[in-house]
Structure 1
Amino acid sequence: MIITVTPNPSLDRAFDLASLEVGEVNRAIGVHVHAGGKGINVSRALSRQGIATLAVLPVGGPDGAQLLDELAAQEVPTHAVPISGATRSNVTLVDGAGVTTKVNAPGPGLTPHEVDALLEAIDAELVRGPRWVVAAGSLPEGAPDLFARLLEVARRRGVRLALDTSGAPLRDATRAGGIGVAKPNDEELSELVGSRLETVGEVRDAAHELIAAGTASVLVSLGVHGALLVEKGGCWWAGAPALVPLSTVGAGDVTLAGYLAVEGPGPDRLRRAVAWGRAAVLLPGSDVPHPSQTELAAVTVVDSPDPHTPLKEL
């Protein structure tokens, strides 16, 4: 069982366009509606692959109700915490070349009582002894320390925490230490350490700063250039031949789901992570792949990649 926590979920509406003309009337040739939010995407990907999961999330308003209906239709179990605000909707525009433009709404703020109720719901579910709890996405107004508090709950229950966020929430949680795996992309990691990351060695060294502060593993997604996994005892890169993406929305979340899906050596988990993320970009909107759509054999894993290699040459 893997439990996910999405403090700022959304109903994602994706529009397929032949081309995007800024300032003009654009007509969609396809429309997709999915339950969204980083943790929710992780749960959706795991459930599609037959892996037990539970999505914990705050919900409110009509879009919140529709979000729960979408998850129920996909047979994703949920623990919904009612809030007074309305769940947000996000909009994604995907042109014929696969270029993605996203507009994310800020989402409703949470009251102190609602934050406490969310943490109590998580604590109650962690009693079930999941393999991982995933803290993912942005933090809503009123809950700036939610991930730090969640980390304490996970420690108390003896459950490993996977973190996928950015900015101040990433900084605060990684400084606190005790994270099982952090999954920034290269831009988020660059912002965190305050320097440009252009080579494999620079990404590896930046990841080691998180490891020195108490994070066990750092999974750095590099978009079309694959991913790097950095642990105290090693560094690995995984990638595959380039694809023409249909949509990149949620692909990083599916990558994390692939990493968490099975236990085993880091390189094996990295291979699965990249295979899952690769399959996701070939699907519309934020759809998630079926087992038949993931190809582990297409992914190459390199132990101790040359630190001088530019990321753009991977």
Structure 2
Amino acid sequence: MILTVTPNPSLDRTYEVPSLDRGGVLRATGDQVDPGGKGVNVSRAVAAAGARTTAVLPLGGGAGILLAELLGAHGVDVTAVSIAGQTRSNIAVAEPDGTLTKINTPGPELSPEEAALLLETAAAGAGEASWIACCGSLPRGLGPGWYADLVTRARAAGARVAVDTSGPALPATLAARPEVVKPNASELATAVGRPLSTLWDVLKAAEEIRSLGAGAVLASLGGDGQLLVSAEGTFHGTAPAPVVRSTVGAGDAALAGFLIAGGAGPDALASAVAHGAAAVRLPGSAMPTPADLRPEQVRITRDLPLDLALSEPATP
């Protein structure tokens, strides 16, 4: 069972428009509402693959009720921590060429009691989980070390932990020694405090993150694929994605694919790449099912093109 923890979940509404005209009247060609937040998306992708998953969430207000209902419809078990604040709602505007404009709200502030209850609830599920995925930004009221506390308690209970977060929470978590961290290029650049322009830069940054405590680094590089740096070696995975409808949740789908396939080694990387590539072909933040995957298109190599310039160089 894969347990996910999303301290700042959301309702995500995505509008598809012909073009984004600032100040104009936009007529959407499609729209949909999905349960959102990185860990929520991981659970949705795990459930879509037919595996068991539980999402631990702080939920409040009407948006929280709807989010739980939507997750139930996706086959995700929900363990809710009731909070006084209102669960946030986010908006994304998708253009035909794959350009995505997002408006993310900060979300509610958790009280010290709510923060402690969320930690206790998440840690209590560690004994039944093969993996715990700690994902997303921390809401107001949770300090940068909150994930580190959860990682320490989860590992003591025998669970393996993957962390996908950014900002001060990422370096604060490394000392707790999570088995996997999954930054994108921008988050990785911020963590090491320098720009990343080539695959070699990403490799060196990932090695630095490992030296600070991470067991493995799974770096999402958009159209440049994914890089896995671990004790087993370094592997680069790519797959064509000719039609990009939305990149929302693609990294989360990739993490789900990685954990479903065991969370280590080139086979898990291949699963991550297949899930990420499938996700960008879907609208909104829809998660891929096995029928959407094209594993035959995935290429995994140890012969890294280290001089490869990133399509989108990352800066801190």
TM-score, normalisation: structure 2: 0.96
Q: CA deviation at 1:307?
A: 2.2
> 1:27 is matched with which residue?
27
Structure 2 unmatched ranges of 5 or more: none
Q: Structure 2 CA distance, aligned partners of 1:289 and 1:94?
A: 18
CA contact (8 A) 2:236 2:301 kept: yes
Q: Relative to structure 2, which stretch is displaced further, 34-43 or 117-126?
A: 117-126
Amino acid at match of 2:292: Q
**Structure 1, residues 138-196: CA drift from partner, whole Å, max 9, x if none?**
0000101321111121122121110001111112112x141110000111101110111
> 2:182 is matched with which residue?
183
Q: Structure 2 CA distance, aligned partners of 1:308 and 1:149?
A: 38
Amino acid at match of 2:52: A
**Structure 1, residues 47-105: CA drift from partner, whole Å, max 9, x if none?**
01001110000000010000011011111101000000000000000012221100000
> 2:149 is matched with which residue?
149
> 2:95 is matched with which residue?
95
CA contact (8 A) 2:226 2:237 kept: yes
CA contact (8 A) 1:166 1:184 kept: yes
Q: Relative to structure 2, which stretch is displaced further, 233-242 or 204-213?
A: 233-242
Give the paired residue count.
Answer: 311
Q: CA deviation at 1:10?
A: 0.1
> 2:251 is matched with which residue?
252
Amino acid at match of 2:105: A
> 1:311 is matched with which residue?
310
CA contact (8 A) 1:249 1:285 kept: yes
Q: Structure 2 CA distance, aligned partners of 1:207 and 1:265?
A: 15
> 1:125 is matched with which residue?
125
RMSD: 1.3
Q: Structure 1 CA distance, aligned partners of 2:240 and 2:148?
A: 38
CA contact (8 A) 1:8 1:139 kept: yes
Change (3 A) 1:264 1:99: closer
CA contact (8 A) 2:232 2:265 kept: no
> 1:198 is matched with which residue?
197
Q: CA deviation at 1:265?
A: 5.2
Q: Structure 2 CA distance, aligned partners of 1:241 and 1:263?
A: 24
Q: Structure 1 CA distance, aligned partners of 2:46 and 2:264?
A: 19
> 1:111 is matched with which residue?
111
Amino acid at match of 2:183: P
User: What percent of counterpart residues are identical?
Assistant: 46
Q: Relative to structure 2, which stretch is displaced further, 3-12 or 229-238?
A: 229-238
CA contact (8 A) 1:235 1:304 kept: no
Q: Relative to structure 2, which stretch is displaced further, 207-216 or 268-277?
A: 207-216
> 1:266 is matched with which residue?
265
CA contact (8 A) 2:148 2:176 kept: no
> Partner of 1:312: helix, strand, or coil?
strand
Instruction: Work out whether 1:81 is the aligned partner of 2:81.
Output: yes
Structure 1 unmatched ranges of 5 or more: none
CA contact (8 A) 2:180 2:216 kept: yes
Q: CA deviation at 1:310?
A: 1.9
